[in-house]
């Protein structure tokens, strides 16, 4: 069994230049429960303007692995000289 978690989002499409409304229907679901709820929601849904989307949470809220930028001596010298020129 996988330790992955899923969320189900509900999208309500209004049309007529009105933005769609997104809400979180269910969260912290394992794969089996998420699939079970998606089937139930799609089966019971009779409104064509409402759709449901299943998302794996491992793709959400992740920060890229970026290294911090290192200041070069040239940048440090430029910033020091700019601060000296300020009148206050």
Give residue 16's pLDDT: 86
Give residue 58's pLDDT: 85
- Token output for 55: 């998302």
pLDDT, tens digit (0-9, with 9 covering 90-100), for 47-71: 999 999 999 988 886 666 677 767 6
6: number of Cβ within 10 Å:
22
The DSSP letter of residue 79 is: H
Give residue 84's pLDDT: 58
- Give the pTM: 0.63
DSSP string, 38-76: HHHHHHH---TTEEEEEEEGGGSS-----PPP---HHHH
Instruction: Match 């890229």 to its residue by tokens.
Output: 64
pLDDT, tens digit (0-9, with 9 covering 90-100), for 10-42: 999 998 889 999 999 999 999 999 999 999 999
């Amino acid at each position: 069994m996988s330790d992955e978690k899923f969320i189900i989002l509900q999208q309500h499409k209004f049309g007529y230049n009105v933005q769609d409304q997104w809400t979180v229907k269910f969260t912290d679901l394992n794969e089996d429960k998420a699939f079970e709820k998606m089937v139930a929601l799609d089966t019971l849904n009779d409104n064509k303007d409402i759709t449901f989307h299943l998302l794996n949470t491992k793709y959400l809220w992740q920060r890229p692995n970026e290294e911090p930028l290192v200041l070069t001596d040239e940048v440090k010298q430029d910033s020091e000289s700019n601060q000296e020129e300020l009148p206050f």
